[in-house]
């Protein structure tokens, strides 16, 4: 890659049609076409875009007890998840091929009876360049998502730069970040469901720490993006808005905040709140090299005589039954 290259990225702040995989795919293909028409080289969708981040619902599970309704909704969640390979994955691959773009999307992946929060990066030819499963699901996510393994902690060389990804709060894992830094990440993708003000500061810190571009993308989700009978937002459910009132269709559940940070930690775009939008930014790749004049986390500022990081890149352990 030439250091004089300028890469255009598009962070798609949009909500899926939750629990409806086909309609979510239709939305993805439409928004990807719009971003590609605007000249994007790399298009990034939020965490769990295919096809739901299950906001405010723990599937009726408590310590020591599970309810029948929660199992039914888990089955619905599983049915709207994505197998690899599958016709749904091929739809995304064809979208990347059709528009000759790199396309990153968060999916809920199903394998066997387990779900994983996964980030996929597709190449211009539609091939899967990177599959990363979230290493540690956060809080109640642990009930419905399995744990990822080190084989997804990769950075891929492309004609637009070296691309890597971590999902949501695993960006707070210093060793996971360092694993990407060690591989020379230049365009760091951070799909998330975190819309707290502190997330913005964290992304700017990571950009400055890693001397890389950070593209963070979140959904802007309303109650109306979920099925009408989705338990947390129905009148009989004990959950209420922070003000104690019942949820309404236009109430915002996730406020977004997608933006792009540069390798010195500054914002190339301002965070977008409370609306669906495609955030565009142009990344002069020469700025990555320039930023490392005075700090390089795995170069001038590393001390390999003191610190080492070892990453187990083998796939997750499986159980083999031997007669």
186 carries an active-site annotation: no
DSSP 225-239: GS-TT-GGGSTTSS-
Which among 110, 131, 134, 222 is annotated as catalytic? 134
Helix or strand holding residue 24 (H, E): helix 21-37
Which residue shows structure tokens 């469901």? 193
Check the CA dihedral 85-168-12-195 and report its sign: positive
Annotated catalytic residue, options 27, 47, 186, 208 = 47
pLDDT for 240 equals: 81
Q: In whole angstroms, give the CA distance from residue 18 to residue 54.
A: 8
pLDDT in tens, 23-64: 999 999 999 999 999 999 999 999 999 999 999 999 999 999
The enclosing H or E element of 84 equals none
How far apart, in Å, do the first and last CA atoms of the chain sit?
A: 52
Query: CA angle 26-28-32, nearest 5°?
Result: 125
pLDDT digits (tens, 9 = 90+) for 217-237: 999 999 999 999 999 999 888
pLDDT at residue 3 in the model: 65
Residue tagged active-site, from 131, 168, 170, 212: 168
Centre a 10 Å sphere on the Cβ of residue 38 and count the other Cβ atoms it contains: 12
Domains, the chain, in order of start with CATH, read 6-291 (3.60.110.10)
Given a cut of 90, whether residue 320 has pLDDT beyond it is: no
Helices marked H in 47-86 — which ranges?
68-79
Is 282 tagged catalytic? no
| DSSP structure string for 87-139 | HHHHHHHHHHHHHT-EEEEEEEEEETTEEEEEEEEE-TTS-EEEEEE-SS--T
What's the longest Cα–Cα distance across the chain? Answer: 61
Rounded Cα–Cα distance for residues 10 and 41 (Å): 8
Closest CA to 90 of 64, 124, 53, 128: 128
pTM: predicted TM-score of the whole model, two decimal places: 0.96
Express each pLDDT in 79-118 by its tens digit. Answer: 999 999 999 999 999 999 999 999 999 999 999 999 999 9
Per-residue pLDDT, averaged over 5-33, amounts to: 98
91, 83 contact by CB (below 8 A): no
| pLDDT one-digit tens code per residue, 110-130 | 999 999 999 999 999 999 999
Those residues whose C-beta lies under 8 Å from the C-beta of residue 55, and which sit 6 or more positions away, are 193, 221, 226, 232, 253, 254
Average pLDDT over residues 258-266: 98
Extended strands (E) in 159-248: 161-165, 187-192, 213-218, 220-222
Query: 139-179, pLDDT tens digit by residue?
Result: 999 999 999 999 999 999 999 999 999 999 999 999 999 99
The pLDDT of residue 78: 98
Check if 27 is active-site.
no
**Residue 9 and residue 42 in contact, taking contact as beta carbons nearer than 8 Å:** yes
Q: Distance between CA 99 and CA 103 in Å, rounded?
A: 10
Count the helices and strands in the chain (H runs, E runs): 7, 15
What pLDDT was estimated at residue 315?
Answer: 84
pLDDT digits (tens, 9 = 90+) for 285-307: 999 999 999 999 999 999 999 99
Tell me the chain's radius of gyration from C-alpha atoms. 20
């Amino acid at each position: 890659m030439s250091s004089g290259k300028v890469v255009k990225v598009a962070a798609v702040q949009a909500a899926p049609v939750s629990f409806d995989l086909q309609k979510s795919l239709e939305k993805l293909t439409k928004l990807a076409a719009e971003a590609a028409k605007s000249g994007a080289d790399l298009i990034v969708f939020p965490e769990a875009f295919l096809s739901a981040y299950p906001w405010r619902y723990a599937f009726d599970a408590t310590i020591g007890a599970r309810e029948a309704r929660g199992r039914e909704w888990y089955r619905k969640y599983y049915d709207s998840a994505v197998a690899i390979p599958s016709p749904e994955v091929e739809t995304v691959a064809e979208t990347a091929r059709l528009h000759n773009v790199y396309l990153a999307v968060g999916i809920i992946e199903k394998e066997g009876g387990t779900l994983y929060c996964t980030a996929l990066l597709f190449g211009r030819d539609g091939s899967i360049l990177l599959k990363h499963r979230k290493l540690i699901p956060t809080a109640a996510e642990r009930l419905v998502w399995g744990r990822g393994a080190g084989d997804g902690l990769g950075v891929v060389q492309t004609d637009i730069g070296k691309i890597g990804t971590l999902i949501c709060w695993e960006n707070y894992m210093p060793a996971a970040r360092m694993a990407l830094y060690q591989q020379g990440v230049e365009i760091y993708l951070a799909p998330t469901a975190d819309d707290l003000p502190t997330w913005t500061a964290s992304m700017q810190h990571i950009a400055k720490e890693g001397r890389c571009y950070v593209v963070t993308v979140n959904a802007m989700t309303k109650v109306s993006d979920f099925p009408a009978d989705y338990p947390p937002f129905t009148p009989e459910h004990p959950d209420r808005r922070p003000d104690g009132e019942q949820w309404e269709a236009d109430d915002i559940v996730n406020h977004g905040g997608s933006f792009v940070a540069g390798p010195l930690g500054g914002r190339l775009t301002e965070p977008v709140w409370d609306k669906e939008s495609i955030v565009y930014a142009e990344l002069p790749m020469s700025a990555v090299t320039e930023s490392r004049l005075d700090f390089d986390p795995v170069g001038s500022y590393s001390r390999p005589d003191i610190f080492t990081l070892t990453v187990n890149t083998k796939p997750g352990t499986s159980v083999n039954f031997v007669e």
